[in-house]
């Protein structure tokens, strides 16, 4: 087993947001290969999150973020299982990071937390627009549907918070970042809702 340096652990922590011991174990398992260690942590985070996903989340916090100059403000509710975790620095940092994500995501603003919250009429409207664009470009019918589905993925990544690239690490989605925190904090964590205000925007 190769020797793992503190610098490697630090780099992996910065890339994934995972805990010190989790990063060290992943690097040892990957024989010091950083990218392989990232994959290991993501798989573990996914598994940990799935195990906890059915547990009740009645605690948590409402966090806020006001961008410098007061141009943009965000309120976000993030829930966890216990007030003990809600009061940890790690959870508070997570809430702030998520609020910053919503504030920074312009012009592609998140409108919903998860894909299943997208209203059917909004999805149908987007699908119709994309289909019309593909047909107007002269694409054959068998290709149109593939183009529509491909562009719908982009629609989700722009409009659904959990599917956006995470601002501090665009190689991760927000969902993957959240799951890495579930693996560290050992509780089910859910983003409940958010609201974003921008000075001068039309209501």
Asked if 63 and 101 sit in the same domain, the reply is: yes
Total number of residues shown for the chain: 203
Asked if 21 and 78 sit in the same domain, the reply is: no
Asked if 173 and 106 sit in the same domain, the reply is: yes
Q: How far apart are CA 63 and CA 133, in angstroms?
A: 40
Give the pLDDT confidence score for residue 64 in this predicted structure. Answer: 95
Asked if 16 and 37 sit in the same domain, the reply is: yes
Write out pLDDT tens, residues 146-159.
888 888 888 998 89
**CATH code of the domain containing 166:** 3.30.479.20
Could you tell me which residues come within 8 angstroms of residue 166 by beta carbon, excluding any fewer than 6 positions away?
A: 101, 172, 173, 174, 176, 177
CB 40 within 8 Å of CB 29: yes
pLDDT band at 199 (very low <50, low <70, confident <90, very high): confident
Structural domain including 89 reads: 59-112+160-198
Long-range residue pairs from 112-117, CB within 8 A, at least 24 positions apart, any chain: 112/159, 112/160, 112/161, 113/160, 113/161, 113/162, 113/191, 113/192, 113/193, 113/194, 114/160, 114/161, 114/162, 115/156, 115/160, 115/162, 115/163, 117/160
Write out pLDDT tens, residues 75-120.
999 999 999 999 999 999 999 999 999 998 766 678 999 999 999 9
More confident residue, 43 or 110: 110
Instruction: Give the chain's domain count.
Output: 3
Could you tell me which residues come within 8 angstroms of residue 22 by beta carbon, excluding any fewer than 6 positions away?
A: 41, 44, 183, 184
Give the pLDDT confidence score for residue 110 in this predicted structure. Answer: 87
């Amino acid at each position: 087993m190769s020797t793992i340096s503190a610098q490697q652990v630090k780099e992996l922590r910065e890339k994934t947001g995972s805990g010190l011991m989790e990063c060290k174990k992943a690097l040892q398992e990957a024989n010091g290969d950083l990218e392989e260690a990232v994959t290991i942590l993501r798989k573990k985070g996914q598994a940990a999150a799935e195990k906890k996903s059915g547990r009740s989340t009645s605690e948590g916090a409402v966090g806020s973020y006001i961008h410098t100059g007061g141009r943009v403000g965000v309120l976000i509710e993030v829930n966890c299982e216990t007030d003990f975790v809600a009061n940890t620095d790690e959870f508070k940092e997570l809430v702030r990071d998520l609020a910053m994500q919503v504030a920074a995501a312009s012009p592609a603003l998140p409108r919903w937390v998860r894909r299943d919250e997208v209203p059917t009429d909004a999805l149908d409207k987007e699908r119709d627009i994309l289909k019309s664009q593909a047909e107007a470009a002269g694409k054959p019918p068998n290709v149109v549907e593939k183009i529509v589905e491909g562009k719908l993925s982009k629609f989700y990544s722009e409009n659904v918070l959990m599917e956006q690239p995470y601002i501090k690490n665009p190689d991760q989605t927000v969902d993957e970042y959240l799951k890495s925190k579930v693996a560290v904090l050992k509780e089910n964590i859910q983003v409940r809702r958010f609201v974003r205000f921008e000075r001068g925007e039309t209501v």
